[in-house]
Amino acid sequence: MEHLNETKGIPLIGENFPEMKVPTTHGIKNLPGDYAGKWLVLFSHPADFTPVCTTEFVAFAKRYEKFQKLNTDLIGLSIDQVFSHIKWVEWIENELKVPIPFPIIADDQGKIAAKLGMVHPGKGNNTVRAVFIIDDNGIIRLILYYPQEVGRNMDEILRAVEALQIADKNKVAMPANWPNNELIKDRVIIPPPSDVAASKDRKKKYDCYDWWFCHKKI
């Protein structure tokens, strides 16, 4: 079902997400075209009906409205058939009382996962816990890989989406642990100056530790 472009190698940060047509629990989706104008978090899980993956889907579902407020959709993926996805989603809703509002890609042949670098040595045919954050122009902005043994922190993925959006809008950078940085709290970092004159003027315009480390409130 999937139709991938001719991009060679695993997609990288800053590249366009490869175009593909994929079967999902919500019908056929064209990526990234069907999400034009929206941000997208595409994440893979090792397999349906597994405990860690179930906790992750519940965690994503419980934060779905927060992602939506950031103009961000979610879509899952594993090397399972669509009927397995449907039955697993049904089980989660019936047994755990948590509806899964986002689609799941059925990559039963593993071609999509292989194209996106989601199948790693020593893990058989299962996907690792990969995360791709794709912006509203279809560009890959962040990639995370977790091993099968470690469940993801969905609040960190939310934080990363929000941080990227604020950085884009304000042309700034975000400090470690933003918005709870140990030095500057929820303030943001001003990009380095481009010339000597600008470096000398920075302390007059911003709060700075030095000319190369200035920050401001947004």
The residues assigned a catalytic role are 53
DSSP 18: P
Residue 218 to residue 213: CA distance in whole angstroms: 16
User: Residue 129: is it exposed, middle or buried by C-beta count within 10 angstroms (0-12/13-18/19+)?
Assistant: buried
| CA 96 to chain centroid | 25
DSSP 16: B
Cβ atoms 36, 139 nearer than 8 A: no
Residue 100 to residue 95: CA distance in whole angstroms: 12
